[in-house]
Structure formats: structure tokens, C-alpha cells
Amino acid sequence: MLKRSWAVFMLALTTLPVGAAPTSIRVVSDNNYPPYLFIDADNNPRGYLVDEWALWEKKTGVKVDLIATDWSTAQKMLLAGDADVIDMMFETPARKLQYDFTAPYARVRVNIYVDASISGIDDVQSLKGFAVGVERGDACVERLARDGITNVQLFNGYTDMIAAVGHKDVRILCMDELPANYYLYKARGKASFSKSFEYYAGEFRRGVRKGDLATIALVEKGMKEITPQEREALRRRWMGQPVSFTPYAQVLGYALLVVGVIGVLLAIWVVTLRRAVSRRTKDLGFLSFHDALTGLPNRALLIDRLDHAIRLGQAETIAVLLIDLDHFSRIIESLGHACGDQLVKQVANRLTGSIEHIHTFARTSVDVFALVIQGDLTPAMIAATAEKVLRLVSQEIVLDGNRVFISASIGISAYPGDGNDGALLLKHAGAARSLARREGGGRFKFYRAALTANAQELIHMGAGLRRALQEDEFLLLYQPQIEISTGAVVGVEALLRWNLAGRLIGPDQFIPYAEETGLIEGIGDWVLQTACHQLAKWLRLGLPPMRVAVNLSPKQFANSALLDHVADALGAAGLPPELLELEITEGCFLQREASVLAFLDKLRETGVSLAIDDFGTGYSSLAYLRRFPVQILKIDKTFLTEIPGDRQAEALVSAIVVMARGLSLKVLAEGVENHAQWSFLKDIGCDLAQGWLLGAPMSAEAFMDWYKERSGRAEAKRAKTNSRNQKWRYVVTPVETNT
Ligand code: C2E
Ligand code: MG
Ligand code: MG
């Protein structure tokens, strides 16, 4: 043990400074830190430090090689032994492990600077969620990390950072105050930053590699020899000096007096001039944000408005449609610039006023317009707008008596998916526009290719569904609903089909499209009307009273016009409301609980009954069952597939039945396909059932035949057992069907 300590002591002795001062030292520091150190136009380092170290050199006789480089390289150089001193360094806990420091010589404020477009940043906690621009290797990185801000954008130096500010790539900066004043003032034309809050204050020190105490001592000694007068001269040279009254100012005063006298004489002229200038300035102000030909906003204003709209965060979707007129240059070549201008104006007029949801309509370059629409927009709605624009643009235009037809290539991007600032959205719309052009023009493309495919498909489907409505291609199938205890048919569920050229298409394949394209309202209304008519017709043909159940889409459910549609359908068919049942899914209850409740109450007041369809697949909550005026719970068929056999599914269905009974609701089990399921349901006291075992969905005519046949059989059976207790209801017994 003793031996080892001795060896360490010997080793320490050999590495101690030998006492002789070096003949030169290398000092390294940040080349981007005016007024302390920066690179002038001739590529020479200049600033307070250059002069200070020159004085130090004079005082100590030790030659100073001052190297100005970017801050992270400076640190690397020192640690790698390529420099002896690093200047302008803050002491931080992490740095203390690698460096030794001199006493502080200047205090520097470090502030957070924020772009004018951002508000609400006033302390470090409010920086959360934003990217903060910081110079690589800056003490601020460490400080931010300590405060839990890890989303930092690192730049190699303040110059890179300021360039990014110009491109709007960064909107929050952590910078030392002095260079910030310099750089942000310089960048004021491109960006408008202001100090948001003082983050912390640091103290400049000189650092050396850990343990190099000899250099520290040497540096401190030389610095102390610089006199206060010399320091004051340095400070005055680089940090500015108070304005003092000099003899020159006196001359200036006289000159001003003379100018003032002349000014009085010219007052009237000046006033007139000012008015003219103000008018012109207003014009120029307008013109700097508007296109002179059309008066539409220009690109700068467009980006500003987009940024503003995004910041407001009120719109679900903000879509940018970049509309590029195809072959515009050819028109100019053949008809001249005046005609080109006319064309642009006509297109602008045509589009203004013909498009819905417009937020901004701008002209971003000679032959390019940008249309911004916002709202609760689906890709299909955006695509429909693009189609409309294409249609409007392609209509005949008369230019100087010449009939001209043009087309456009449209690129679409949408917030939030494709970018969260105006410039980026425009860039992405531009990329999509190029794609549309490459494919021959006269078309639109979404920035995300998948959306294009999806939107095209939607448009195709939308057109098909519209036609289906007009040309009666929809039809309803009816599936019986059976009371389990008696086997009586108590109702039918109307299930929609699309007869597409002889092929029956199921609702799962087109209802989502109908919902997206907004056609669900018309289709849903048709279903209501047809189902009510059909039931009324059956009743007239002698079928006993039973209910017809109609499925509602959440989209229909959200619209108060539904109340009118229900009343109209019942009125037109002459059907009592209690024979109509509306099936709603749990999706309807997702939001707006209070308004849903009010709406359900209104529906219930009309006398119709309400059923919850596909119970158990959505956001089942017993709470809403208690509060909502529903009468029937339809257990989704997926539960039945596990029954009998799966203990858990059995327990669940039994529990639903018990719970529903407690709430005075009837339970209908969907998807009953076999006798075992039927027996199980009967055993647990489930009220109603529906499924292939009892009757598959069938056409209106087929249902009539089915009903008669089954009731005939039941009649015969009843006659046999001499039962007379079912006067108005026909009774069926479950049979296996092949459907
Ligand atoms: P849903 O309301 O749950 O309808 C029951 C679905 O189960 C029907 O499918 C029906 O044919 C099927 N089904 C009946 N019995 C059995 C069975 O024993 N086993 C199995 N595996 N399936 C059975 P469909 O007709 O394809 O309808 C699917 C969904 O489309 C419906 O589910 C309903 O949500 C929706 N839908 C149907 N018609 C309309 C409509 O007019 N408007 C709206 N908005 N949606 C509708
Ligand atoms: Mg249903
Ligand atoms: Mg269902």
C-alpha cells in the first residue's frame, strides 16, 4: 500500500510544471461572437479579445497565437492538446470535469429569443414541445437538458443558426445576449425575433485542460498586468461609448437651425408631399403582399396566413391546392403577354366565389394560384374541390376573340399530415404539383400518394353511389327478429344492398364511402322511406303488426334533419311510430354526450324505439345505457360465435342479459346460427334473436313467402296442440337454413 502511494507521488512529481514559462501559447475561441471575437470581411479575427490578448502578449512577452474557429471545434482543439487556452467559456458542472478555469472576467446574459409568430413563451417550462436552436457545444444545451428541454436543434455556429432563422427552419433560439443583439438585428429583414425572457446569466472565464494549472497561473498573471485605463480603452472601442457633445455638434446645431428655418418656409410643400408619399406607401404596402394584376394575396401573405391559421388551431384540416396552369407559356408565345394577363384574371375570377370553405386564394407566381381550404375536410372533400377547380379551369376562355382551352396541374398538401407551417405545406404541394405535371397535367395529386389513390377511389365510388340513388340501384333485404320465449316474429331488420349490374354489394363495402362523400344522408333517407313503405304494405297485405328496424350511420345521427326525415318517412307510409325502430351504434355516443342525449330524447319523443346495435364492440359503457332512452340492446354476433363452449363469452352474454333486465331493456342476440346457441339464449332468458338459423336476410317478396310458409307450419302445429293463445302473432320455430 505504502509502495503504491510512493509511486503515485513520484509520477505526480514528474508531471508537475517545471516552472519555465512557455515562449508561446495557443488560445482558441468562438469566431462568431461579436463584439468579443468575429471574423471580418478580410477573413481576419477581430474584436475585444484580439486586442486584449495582444496586450497580454506585450505584458508577458509570451507570443499568443489566437485561433478563432467554431465553438465546438474550439473545445475539441483544446481537449485534444491543439490549444492551451479556450476563451469565453462558462463554467458548467459537466465542463468542470474536463477543464480548469480562471476567475470570471465578464458577465453575460443568455436569453431565449422567439419568432414574432409564436406567443406564450415566457419561461423555460413553456419551451416544452418546441425545438430550441442552440449552438453546438454551447453551455445552453447542458442547461436546457437540466431543465428537461431535450428537443434542441444544434447548429455549428451562430451564422448557421441565423441562416436557418432566415429560412424559418428554427423559431426559438437560445443565445448569448451580445451576439444575439448583433445577429438578430442583422437578420431583421428575414425574421423578426424578440427576446422572450432571460434564461440565465453566465460568466466568461478562460479554460485550460484539467490539471494544467501552470497555464492558468500564466494567463491570470498577464491579465492582471493590463491596467484599468487600457481596459477602459478596450471597452470603449468594442462595447460602445456614451454619446458626448463635441464641437462638431455645435456646427451641426447651427446647420439644423438653418434647415429648420427653410423647413418652415417649405412646410406647405412638405405636407402635400407627405400626403402623396403616404398614399404611395399604402399602395406599396398593399403591393408587397398582393399581386398587382389580380389583387390576390401573394406568396408571402399566403404563407403568413397559413401560419396564422395553423397557429390558431381552429381548423381540423387546412389543405393547400397549388394550381399550375398547364402550357401557359405557349399561350403567351402565340397570343402575347396581354392575353396571358387576361387569362390569369379570368381564371382568378372564375375560381373566386365558386369554391366553398375558401380560406385564402392567392397567386404565387405568374401562372400558379394557391387555394387554401379549411374545415372538417376529408380527402374526398378536398379531392372534390380539386376536381371542381379542374372543371372550372378547363371551361372555354375567350382572349381577344380567340377561344382558348387550358388545363391545370394541381398539387395538394394538407395540415396536419403534410407539414405544420405554411412554407412546408407549399413546398409539399409543389412536389405533388410536379407529379401531376409529369403525368401529363389536367389532374391533381396529393402529396401523399396513398391519398391520391384513396381519393380517386372515393370519387369513383361517390359517382357510382350518386348514380345508384338516382337510378334505383339500392334495395333492402329483411331479416326476421324472433321472440325467443314464444318463437314469434316481432320484427324485421332492413339491410341495405347495392345492385351493381346484377351483383349484390354488401353495406360494409360502400357505407364507409357514402359516409365520406356525404351521400349517406340521401341513402339513409331512402332506406327509411323504403323500409316504412314496405312494412305498411305488408300490414295492408295482412301481416300482423311488427317492427321494422333501420340502421343509422353515426353521420346521419349527428344531423338534426334526421328528425324530419323520420317524421316524413312515417307520415308518407302512414305507419305508427312505435313500429319503427332505429338502430344506432355505440360510435354515436363517443362525443358530445349531452347533445346526443338531447337528440335521443327528441327521437324518442317521436314515438320510435331505439336500439343499440353491435353492443359490446365499441365503447360500451353501462353509464350511458342508464341515461339514454334506448329500449333494445343488440349483442354483437361476434359474442355468439364463441357460444356455446367458451366460458367467458357465455358469462359475458349472461351478464349483459341480467344487466339489461335490471335496466328494463330487451336484449336481442345477433348472428344466431345453430340450435346450441338458440338453447343457450333461451336458458339465460335472452328476449330476442336474429340470425341465419331463424331466417337469413331476404327480399321483401321472399320475406312474405317465408312468413306465410312458417306461420302455416306453426298454425298446423298449434292446431295440433290446440293452442289458442297467440291471436295476432304468427309463430315460427327455428329451422336450419342453408343461406
Ligand atoms: P348489422 O346491423 O349488425 O347487421 C347484421 C349483419 O349481420 C347483417 O350484415 C346481416 O346480414 C348479418 N347476419 C345476419 N344473421 C347472421 C348470422 O347468423 N351470422 C352472420 N355471420 N351474420 C349474420 P349486412 O347485411 O352485411 O350488414 C352489415 C352492416 O351494415 C350492418 O350490421 C349494419 O351496420 C350496416 N348496414 C346495413 N344496412 C344499413 C343501412 O341501411 N344503413 C346503414 N347506415 N348501415 C347499414
Ligand atoms: Mg343493425
Ligand atoms: Mg349488428
Predicted pLDDT of residue 738: 33
Whether residue 564 is contained in a domain is answered as yes
Residue 271 lies in a domain: no
Based on the fold, state whether residues 388 and 536 are members of the same structural domain: no
Q: Is 613 in the pocket of ligand 1 (CB under 6 A)?
A: yes
What pTM does this model have?
A: 0.47
What atom of ligand 1 comes closest to residue 634's alpha carbon? 3
Interval between CA 39 and ligand 2 midpoint (Å): 76
Question: Distance from the CA of 495 to the center of ligand 1, in angstroms?
Answer: 6
Spatial distance between the Cα atoms of 552 and 566, rounded to a whole number of angstroms: 11
Indicate if ligand 1 lies below 6 Å from the C-beta of 307. no
Q: Is the CB of 496 under 6 A from ligand 1?
A: yes
- Judge whether 512 lies within some domain: yes
Euclidean distance between CA atoms 387 and 42, whole angstroms: 57
The residue range of the domain holding 558 is 472-714
Atom of ligand 1 nearest to the CA of 495: 38
**Residues measured by CB to lie within 5 Å of ligand 3, the ion:** 613-614, 670
- Nearest ligand 1 atom to the CA of 614 is 3
Distance 638 CA to ligand 1 centre (A): 12
Q: Are residues 491 and 542 in the same domain?
A: yes
Q: Same domain for 115 and 197?
A: yes
536 in the same domain as 431:
no
DSSP one-letter string for 671-706: ---SHHHHHHHHHHT--EE-STTT---B-HHHHHHH
Ligand 1 pocket mutation pick from 495, 534, 586, 635 by most atoms within 8 angstroms of CB: 495
Residue 231 lies in a domain: yes
**Alpha carbons 86 and 701: distance in angstroms, whole number:** 94
Say if ligand 1 is within 6 A of residue 671 CB: yes
Alpha-helical (H) ranges within 541-634 are 554-557, 561-573, 593-605, 622-627
Question: Is residue 168 domain-resident?
Answer: yes
Give the domain-ending residue among 435, 462, 489: 462
Ligand 1, atom 7: closest residue by C-alpha? 671
Do residues 210 and 308 both lie within one domain? Answer: no
Looking at the structure, do residues 502 and 535 belong to the same domain, yes or no? yes
If one residue of 481, 551, 674 were mutated to test the ligand 1 pocket, choosing by the most ligand atoms within 8 A of its CB, it would be: 551
Task: Report the chain's C-alpha Rg in angstroms.
Answer: 41
Shared-domain flag, residues 488 and 435: no
Q: How far apart are CA 695 and CA 546, in angstroms?
A: 15
C-alpha cell at 725: 293463445
Domain final position from 462, 481, 504: 462
Does the residue 722 lie in any domain?
A: no
454: CA distance to ligand 1 center in Å? Answer: 25
Which residue's C-alpha comes closest to atom 23 of ligand 1? Answer: 671
Is the beta carbon of 586 within 6 A of some atom in ligand 1?
Answer: no
Ligand 1: which residue has its CA nearest to atom 46?
Answer: 551
Indicate which atom in ligand 1 lies nearest the CA of residue 496: 38
Q: Are residues 360 and 490 in the same domain?
A: no
Picking from 190, 221, 239, the residue at the C-terminal end of a domain is 239
Q: Is the peptide bond before 512 cis (omega within 30 degrees of 0)?
A: no
Residue 638 counted as domain residue:
yes
Please report, for the domain that includes residue 160, its CATH number.
3.40.190.10
CA of 634 to the centre of ligand 3 (A): 7
The CA-based angle 55-58-62, given to 5 degrees, is: 110
Rounded Cα distance between 684 and 668, Å, is 12
Q: What is the CATH number of the domain that holds 443?
A: 3.30.70.270
Q: Are residues 558 and 688 in the same domain?
A: yes
Q: Does 581 reside within a domain?
A: yes
User: Nearest C-alpha to atom 10 of ligand 1 is from which residue?
Assistant: 697
| DSSP secondary structure letters along 279-311 | HHHHHHHHHTTB-TTT--B-HHHHHHHHHHHHH
Q: Which ligand 1 atom sits closest to the C-alpha of 477?
A: 25
Q: What is the CATH number of the domain that holds 570?
A: 3.20.20.450
Smallest CA-to-CA distance from 75 within 209, 214, 219, 216 is with 209
| Residue closest by Cα to atom 27 of ligand 1 | 507
Do residue 137 and residue 192 come from a single domain?
Answer: yes
Say if residues 47 and 34 touch (Cβ distance below 8 Å): yes
**Ligand 1 atom nearest to CA at 514:** 44
Quote the ligand 3 centre to 586 CA distance (angstroms).
11
- For cell 346457441, the residue is 677
CA of 670 to the centre of ligand 3 (A): 6
Nearest CA to ligand 1 atom 14: 691
- Between vectors from CA 444 to CA 440 and to CA 448, what angle results, nearest 5°? 110
**Mean pLDDT in runs of 10 for the chain (739 residues)?**
33 39 91 82 83 94 92 91 93 89 90 81 80 88 87 84 79 86 74 84 92 92 92 80 43 63 68 58 57 87 89 85 90 86 92 82 93 89 92 90 89 90 90 85 84 70 89 96 95 95 86 84 96 96 95 83 93 96 78 69 91 74 70 90 85 87 91 95 96 96 92 73 46 39
Q: How many structural domains are present in the chain?
A: 3
The reply to whether ligand 1 has any atom less than 6 angstroms from the CB of 476 is: no
Q: For residue 54, give the amino acid letter.
A: A
Same domain, 574 and 658: yes
Are residues 445 and 527 part of one domain?
Answer: no
pLDDT at 582: 95
The reply to whether ligand 1 has any atom less than 6 angstroms from the CB of 309 is no
Query: What is residue 252's predicted lDDT score, i.e. its pLDDT?
Result: 59
Q: Are 54 and 64 in contact (CB under 8 A)?
A: yes
